[in-house]
Amino acid sequence: MTEARLPRRVLVANRGAVAARVIRTLRRMGIESVAVYSEADAGLPYVGAADRAVAIGPAPAQQSYLNQARLLDVARESGADAVHPGYGFLSENAGFAEAVQRQGLCFIGPSPRWIRELGHKTQARAFMAGQGMPQAASSPVLASSDEALAAAARIGYPVLVKPAGGGGGIGMLPARDAQALAAAWAKASGIAAKFFGSAELYLERLIEAPRHIEFQVLADRHGEVRILFERDCSVQRRHQKVLEEARPVGIPEAQLADMRLLLSGLLARIGYDVIGTVEMLYTPQDGFVFLEMNTRLQVEHAVTEEITGIDIVEAQIRLAAGMHMRQVLPGPMQASGHAIEARIYAEDPVRFLPSPGPLARFELPTGDGIRVETGYAQGASVTPFYDPMIAKLVAHGHDRRDAIARLQAALAQTRIEGVKTNIPFIQRILAHADFVAGRIDTGIAQRVLSPQP
């Protein structure tokens, strides 16, 4: 693809809500879309929303959405000249990005170099440390539990065992002493091998009760970087995000501005491009420390879109096509109001186990300041093959109090039958005194579940 030429037909190499989200922007831009679907997803709404849809295989992801050869065949046969990977699946697979480019197509994401450089956690930490990013003490990849015990003695307890090739909080286990570390190491290595195809683990100093703050990055291929403010993703259960909001409350603006300046300068200097999110941990004592960088569109991008008015998917497409930042975001960036996103999962709200089944009733709210992102419709089935998230509800208000009230009202109007959902849990968080007051850290969900007398 020549520089700054928009694609005319894009293969959306994903499913569900993110496929529907990308297709919506492609249609508005006048770009044709090609959807792909597994046997389990044949009846989902995004399939009919695309200009063309192609079946790619059986339900298991390895035989469909992770089948690179099949996806590349569909791209070629459909006449697509670009591929959008969405999030999850192959979105941070450097080999897939390179294969797309070898086929003469545009990969709508960062250059494969950056996916490879920053996708592996310890490699990314070492790289970013060399660029001056503040970090907590950690280890390289460790070969055994004995090496882990020695590393923990150097770092100091408590530590966090983390898969080097992982993400989404999967396989992350805390350890407060040597005995706990041995057990966590054995468990985490099995989880990592199952979910990521690699049992590589490392240790990181466990920061107690931090905020999880992330910075949304857009970058052109000509040296200009914009940071689209910040999101607070601290409300998590077992390291899985439940609520996200923009912008964070209770962190001095001067510290946020300093970090935006540091990141924009660093990423421009190394030549990072297209899209990404820098995830940080924050405490008043330590300030910001680097956690990881996601080289893709984030699940929670909608809250940033709501406060800025910027279509991040459109910007991603234009930047991947080679456009200059001044063509993509010509004016100054401003943040207006406050936005909060709730992730609705088909799961038991007490035991938090998946709850697959048919959506006998699926009525999602509408109204001023309410945005819904979903891959489902009434009558569809939530299958056990993929992530059980069935919708995202986003509320945009004049301020944080207004956004909370709008989200609470939207959840009260939501009617879902046939599967259990985590809506009661979300409602408990929104009503909790700590959340309302902005006293947020990564332990707030546990405080809601297990209140202290």
Q: Which pLDDT band, with edges at 50, 70 and 90, does 167 fall under?
A: low
Question: Is the residue at 383 inside a domain?
Answer: yes
CA distance from start to end of the chain: 62
CB 56, CB 35: distance < 8 Å: no
- pLDDT value of residue 174: 93
For 422, the 3-state DSSP assignment is coil
* In a shared domain, residues 264 and 373: yes
* One domain, residues 17 and 52: yes
**Model confidence band, residue 4 (pLDDT cutoffs 50, 70, 90):** confident
The dihedral over CA atoms of 100, 97, 315, 14, expressed in degrees to the nearest 10, equals 80
**124 inside domain:** no
Least confident of 107-116, 192-201, 342-351: 192-201
Residue 132 lies in a domain: no
The span from the CA of 146 to the CA of 257, in Å, is 42
Q: Are residues 399 and 338 in the same domain?
A: yes
Residue 381, pLDDT score: 96
- Cα dist. 244→241, 283, 384, 388 in Å? 7, 18, 25, 18
The identity of residue 27, as a single letter, is: R
Place of tokens 């693809």: 1
CB atoms within 10 A of CB 58: 14
Output Rg (C-alpha) for the chain, integer angstroms.
Answer: 21
Angle at 276 between CA 369 and CA 17, to 5 degrees: 45
With 0.75 as the threshold, say if the pTM is over it. yes
**What's the pLDDT at 1?**
40
Answer yes or no: do 270 and 380 share one domain. Answer: yes
| 114 occurs within a structural domain | no
pLDDT of residue 350: 87
Residue 27 lies in a domain: yes
What is the average pLDDT across 129-135? 91
One-letter identity of residue 331: G
Helix (H/G/I), strand (E/B), else coil: 205 = strand
Same domain assignment for residues 80 and 218:
no
Token code pair at residue 20:
């529907």
Residue 286 pLDDT: 87
Give the model confidence (pLDDT) of 83-128 as tens digits. 999 999 999 999 999 999 999 999 999 999 999 999 877 888 889 9
Tell me the average pLDDT across 228-239: 94
Residue 231 predicted with pLDDT over 90: yes
Residue whose entry in the numeric block shows the structure tokens 């339900």: 59
Provide the residue range defining the domain that includes 431: 211-449
Strands annotated E in 193-312: 201-205, 211-219, 225-237, 240-246, 274-283, 287-294
Share of the chain above pLDDT 70, in %: 98
Residues with Cβ within 8 Å of residue 205, at least 6 apart in sequence:
136, 137, 138, 155, 156, 158, 159, 160
| Dihedral, 277, 282, 288, 289 alpha carbons, nearest 10 | -80
Q: Which two tokens stand for residue 441?
A: 């850290």
In the chain, the percentage of residues whose pLDDT exceeds 90 is 86
| Same domain assignment for residues 16 and 68 | yes
Q: What confidence score (pLDDT) does residue 193 get?
A: 84
Active site residues per annotation: 296
Would you state the structure tokens that stand for residue 366, as one six-digit string? 């509408």
Supply 252's token pair: 């001095």
pLDDT of residue 160: 94
One domain, residues 169 and 253: no
Q: What is the pLDDT of residues 23-56, one digit of tens each?
A: 999 999 999 999 999 999 999 999 999 999 999 9
Nearest to 354 by CA among 378, 381, 380, 389: 389
Assign residue 53 the CATH number of its domain. 3.40.50.20
Residue 168 belongs to domain with CATH number: 3.30.1490.20
In-domain check, residue 18: yes
Return the sign of the alpha-carbon dihedral for residues 71, 76, 79, 85. positive
How many domains does the chain contain in total? 3
| Model pLDDT, residue 453 | 61
Residues 163 and 251 in one domain: no
Among 172, 205, 238, give the residue marking a domain's end: 205
How is the chain split among helix, strand and coil, in percent rounded to 5?
35, 25, 35
Q: What is the mean pLDDT of the segment spanning 69-77?
A: 98
> Can you name the residues that pair with 203 across neighbouring β-strands?
161
Question: Is residue 115 one of the residues assigned to a domain?
Answer: no
User: Which of 112-116, 239-243, 300-304, 421-425 is predicted least confidently?
Assistant: 239-243
Whether 38 and 59 have beta carbons less than 8 Å apart is answered as yes
Give pLDDT, residue 199.
87
Distance CA 18, CA 16 (A): 6
**Residue carrying the six token digits 């998917």:** 313
